[in-house]
């Protein structure tokens, strides 16, 4: 097998050397058993990029079979999981670190789905060739005398050149696993890569293959893109290749992409930015079709709804309208003001839209300093209303509370005595 570029242990970045050294005891067990062990995947890419590793996934590949892997690591790991054994993967926890060890694979995919016919291999090159992109098709051999980089497809060079390529023909790779087309967008955004012409051409002819990928996998991959520091280039790639329209056609368009990266990396907030023009019923249907949780759907819908309210208020709106905004909670209100400012930014800092929102934010700050906007409620409770009016528990108590809450919103805090006076007046005027 041609292993391509090889770099000795001493030439690796310090962070990579530290990782290699940390796994040497495990690697030695494979050596003693007559097997090889390689660190593979995203962690190799990130270690070599010099950009650091956050929440590392320790993925290994080996020529040992799953049964042999269990025999090698079983005596030393803290715990071991075999749910992925039929796919060649054994997971374990060792000294508090979770790892996965997968036997070299060379599977083929059923064109009607993306489910592979798993074929184990003893050939590392075959295993690396089936990976998504060249930057992820590198391996650090830990069982050599001097751990070395195995890079048969030039991934390290492509990483330094900011190029995104596939180890095999892109059409073949994407047909095997269509989610790789979306994954390309994440690497374009996260690492500032430029896709090879072969990649964009292949997506143009294979976009419909995304239909064989489960909704959950599409959603999860899109979420990973959304929480990159600046997803705008990745979003632009999805839009220009037609992939975005296949699962989220309601997105406003490229003019919204740049705004997303200016908000903190929160999926709900960034989804709300992309879908701020969508009415609540359609918004809920779309998010439900992507199988987002009810909590996520509620939060995105609330952000969009509140942002719409903020955008319709003028700077002379009554204090009662501002208090009604505050009922949604300070966090969602702050985010909605930020989102509304971004959506109106085309007018510039001197424009009416930006100035109006700044004025609203200032007035909200003044209100918050004068009264507790986190606890907007009548000064009396339901039990006190029952005792005061001499009524039984029931709908009338709810009506009374609604009336008193309206007064609180419109006029601000009033004392208990004034609240009881207003309650008596309201009750006396009822047509019962």
Domain boundaries, the chain: 9-159, 163-247, 263-374, 382-428
CATH topology of domain 163-247: Hydrophobic Seed Protein (1.10.110)
Q: pLDDT tens, position by position, for the chain (432 residues)?
A: 344 444 444 467 777 888 888 899 999 999 999 999 999 999 999 988 866 666 678 999 999 999 999 999 999 999 999 999 988 999 999 998 999 999 998 755 555 555 555 666 678 999 999 999 999 999 999 998 777 899 999 999 999 999 999 999 999 999 999 999 999 999 999 999 999 999 999 999 999 999 999 999 999 999 999 999 999 999 999 999 999 999 999 997 788 898 898 888 999 999 999 999 999 999 999 999 999 999 999 999 999 998 988 888 877 888 888 888 888 777 788 888 888 888 887 444 444 455 677 778 888 888 888 888 888 899 999 999 999 999 999 999 999 999 999 999 999 999 999 999 999 999 999 876
- The SS3 of residue 147 is coil
Kindly state the DSSP code that residue 275 receives in the 8-state scheme.
T
Half-sphere exposure of 220 (CA within 13 A, CB side): 7
Identify the H or E element spanning 167: none
Predicted pLDDT of residue 350: 42
- Residues 401, 90: Cα–Cα separation, whole Å: 59
**Could you give the CA distance from residue 353 to residue 182 in angstroms, rounded to a whole number?**
36
Task: Single out the residue of 46, 64, 65 nearest to residue 55, CA to CA.
Answer: 46
Three-class secondary structure assignment of 331-363: HHHHHHHHHHHHHCHHHCCCCHHHHHHHHHHHH
pTM of the model: 0.82
- pLDDT tens figures, 280-297: 999 999 999 999 999 999
pLDDT of residue 177: 93
Burial class (CB in 10 A: 0-12, 13-18, 19+), 395: exposed
Q: At the topology level of CATH, where does 9-159 sit?
A: Beta Polymerase; domain 2 (3.30.460)
Angle (CA) 29 16 147, round 5°: 45
Please check whether residue 153 is in contact with residue 187, taking contact to mean a CB–CB distance below 8 angstroms: no
- 55: tokens are 């929440």
Contact 120, 65 (CB under 8 A): yes
Of the candidates 198, 181, 160, which has an alpha carbon nearest to the alpha carbon of residue 242? 181
Helix (H) or strand (E) holding 100: strand 97-103
pLDDT at 112: 55
Nearest alpha carbon to residue 388 among 422, 424, 415: 424
Give a three-class secondary structure readout of 2-20: CCEECCCHHHCCHHHHHHH
């Amino acid at each position: 097998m041609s292993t391509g570029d090889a770099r000795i242990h001493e030439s690796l970045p310090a962070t990579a050397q530290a990782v290699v050294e940390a796994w040497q005891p495990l690697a030695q067990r494979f050596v003693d058993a007559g097997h090889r062990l390689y660190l593979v995947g995203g962690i190799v890419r990130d270690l070599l990029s010099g950009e650091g590793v956050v929440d590392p996934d320790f993925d290994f590949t080996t020529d040992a079979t799953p049964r042999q892997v269990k025999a090698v690591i079983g005596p030393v790991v803290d715990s071991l999981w075999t749910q992925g054994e039929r796919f060649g993967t054994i997971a374990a926890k060792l000294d508090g670190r979770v790892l996965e060890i997968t036997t070299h694979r060379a599977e083929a995919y059923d064109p009607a789905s993306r489910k592979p016919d798993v074929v184990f291999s003893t050939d590392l090159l075959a295993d690396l060739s089936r990976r998504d992109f060249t930057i992820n098709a590198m391996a650090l051999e830990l069982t050599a005398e001097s751990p070395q980089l195995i890079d048969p497809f030039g991934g390290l060079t492509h990483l330094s050149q900011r190029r995104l390529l596939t180890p095999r023909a892109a059409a073949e790779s994407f047909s095997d696993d269509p989610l790789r087309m979306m994954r390309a967008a994440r690497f374009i955004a996260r690492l500032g890569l430029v896709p090879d012409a072969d990649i964009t051409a292949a997506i143009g002819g294979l976009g419909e293959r995304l239909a064989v990928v489960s909704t959950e996998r599409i959603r999860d991959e899109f979420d990973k893109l959304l929480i990159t520091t600046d997803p705008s280039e990745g979003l632009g790639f999805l839009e220009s290749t037609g992939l975005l329209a296949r699962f989220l056609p309601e997105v406003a368009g490229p003019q919204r992409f740049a705004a997303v990266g200016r908000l903190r990396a929160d999926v709900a907030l960034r989804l709300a930015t992309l879908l701020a023009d969508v009415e609540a019923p359609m918004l809920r249907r779309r998010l439900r079709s992507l199988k987002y949780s009810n909590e996520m759907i509620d939060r995105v819908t609330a952000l969009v709804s509140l942002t719409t309210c903020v955008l319709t208020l003028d700077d002379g709106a009554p204090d009662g309208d501002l208090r009604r905004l505050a009922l949604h909670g300070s966090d969602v209100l702050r985010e909605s003001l930020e989102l509304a400012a971004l959506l109106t930014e085309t007018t510039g800092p001197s424009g009416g839209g930006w100035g109006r929102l700044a004025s609203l934010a200032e007035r909200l700050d003044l209100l918050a300093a004068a009264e507790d906007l986190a606890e907007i409620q009548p000064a009396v409770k339901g039990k006190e209303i029952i005792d005061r009016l001499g009524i039984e528990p029931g709908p009338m108590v709810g009506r009374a509370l609604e009336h008193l809450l309206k007064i609180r919103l419109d006029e601000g805090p009033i004392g208990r005595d004034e609240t009881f006076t207003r309650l008596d007046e309201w009750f006396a005027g009822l047509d019962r």
